[in-house]
Amino acid sequence: MRVLVTGAGGYIGSVLLPMLLERGYEITALDRFFFGRDKLPVTKNGMVVCEEDIRFAEKGVFKGVDALIDLAALSNDPSGELDPVKTWSINYLGRLRMAALARNAGVKRYILPSSCSVYGFQDEMIDETSSVNPLTTYAKANYKAEQDIMDFADANFTVVILRQATVYGYSPRMRFDLAINGMVRGFFVDKKIPILKDGNQWRPLVHVRDTSMAMIKALEAPAGAVNKEIFNVGSNDQNYQIFGLAKRIASAIGIPFEYEWYGQPDHRSYRVSFDKIAKVLGFSCEFNAEKGAVEVWNALKEGKLDPDDPMTITVKWYKKLLAEGVMV
Domain for residue 294, yes or no?
Answer: yes
- Complete DSSP assignment for 214-228: HHHHHHHS-HHHHTT
Contact between residue 176 and residue 245 where contact means Cβ atoms under 8 Å apart: no
Q: Residue 118 domain-assigned?
A: yes
pLDDT category of residue 106 using cuts at 50, 70 and 90: very high
- CATH code, domain with 280: 3.40.50.720
* 79 touches 138 (CB < 8 A): yes
What's the Cα-to-Cα distance from 149 to each of 18, 100, 130, 143, 320, rounded to whole Å?
Answer: 27, 8, 19, 10, 32
Whether pLDDT at 309 is above 80: yes
What pTM value is reported for the model? Answer: 0.95
Cβ(88)–Cβ(143) below 8 Å = no
User: Residue 328 falls within a domain, yes or no?
Assistant: no
pLDDT digits (tens, 9 = 90+) for 159-197: 999 999 999 999 999 999 999 999 999 999 999 988 888
Q: What does each C-alpha distance from 280 to 116, 146, 217, 231, 274 come to in angstroms?
A: 18, 20, 10, 9, 11
Residue 17 has pLDDT above 80, yes or no: yes
- Which range marks the domain in which residue 214 is found? 2-323
Residue 273 near residue 125 (C-beta atoms within 8 A)? yes
42 pLDDT higher than 80? no
Structural domain contains residue 285: yes
pLDDT tens digits, residue range 111-135? 999 999 999 999 899 999 999 999 9
Q: According to the model, what pLDDT value does residue 37 have?
A: 86
Full DSSP string of 223-287? HHHHTTEEEEES-GGGEEEHHHHHHHHHHHHT----EEEESSPP--EEEE--HHHHHHH----S-
How many distinct structural domains can be found in the chain?
Answer: 1
